[in-house]
A and B are shown apart, each in its own frame.
Chain A
Amino acid sequence: MDRNQSHRQVATMKQSLFDQGYLDHEQFNQLEELQDDANPNFVEEVVTLYYRDSARLVHSIEQALEKSPIDFNKLDSYMHQFRGSSSSIGAKKVKAECSLFREYCRAGNGEGCMRTFQQVKKEYAALRKKLETFFQLARQAGPVDRARRPK
């Protein structure tokens, strides 16, 4: 596969992630603007950091949901952080489920929280898989020629 074709594939996959609502294009583009030849994997590094940091929060939320009675304030606080981090990488569906979770939290609805958290985890995992594929494609395609090089 030639380079142009590889880059087109990357662009197509990225667009489909936007179109399917997995990623917020504005936020993701802002991260991509910080990527260049000197930092060719910047976006992947940020996303890796997100999944590493948020794993801790996911675990804390799981533990908090197992307690009886549920401390909804604590849960809300964890989810606020998780929602914030998710929005930083443009994780649109994850963020939406987090917002729904917080509504159940504020209503003191434990069952609603547990149900929604399953959805949060599902979207979180789905996005991770999609992004892993995307970054693999992007690395294979190599950096985009941003500047015109004289022949």
Chain B
Amino acid sequence: MHKMMLTRLDIEVEVAANGKAAVDLHLAGASFHLILMDLQMPLMDGSQATKELRGMGVASPIVGVTAACDGGPEKTAFLASGLTDCVSKPLTISKIATYLPAPKNPYNN
């Protein structure tokens, strides 16, 4: 559903089923203007994936999207793994507008 919302703004989206798939994409040479990272995922969670990506030298903004971003120790730990930012679910375009390229940002006049 997040893909559908972003595709609607003409943004190319690649969906990784879990943290490991995200890391593998980068190992294969892919790079992205923005990474939206869920926290709870099978195989490798968002925190671990973020740490690995930063360890690989991935400098793209990584924005955590999870109910855990409401606040508290879970949010702190997730941010500490190397996130640029953390927004709470449900995802809305306005929450990540600042990371979208200007022409595709519906809030940019």
Residues of A within 8 A of B (CB): 26-27, 30-31, 33-34, 39, 42, 45-46, 49-50, 53, 77, 80-81, 83-85, 87-90
Contacts and interface: CB of A to CB of B under 8 A. Distances in A.
Given A83-B67, A87-B89, A30 B94 contact: yes
Contacts of A30: 92-94
Contact of A90 (B2, B5, B90): B90
27 contacts: A27-B90, A27-B92, A30-B92, A31-B5, A33-B93, A33-B106, A34-B8, A34-B9, A34-B93, A39-B8, A42-B8, A46-B4, A46-B5, A49-B1, A49-B4, A77-B40, A81-B40, A83-B67, A84-B66, A84-B89, A84-B90, A85-B1, A87-B67, A87-B89, A88-B2, A88-B91, A89-B90
Q: Is the interface of B mostly helix, strand, loop or mixed?
A: loop
B100 to A, nearest CB: 13
A46 B2 CA distance: 9
Nearest to B65: A84
Interface of B: 1-2, 4-5, 8-9, 40, 42, 66-67, 89-94, 106
Contact of A88 (B1, B8, B94): B1
Contacts, number: 46
Q: Is the interface of A mostly helix, strand, loop or mixed?
A: helix
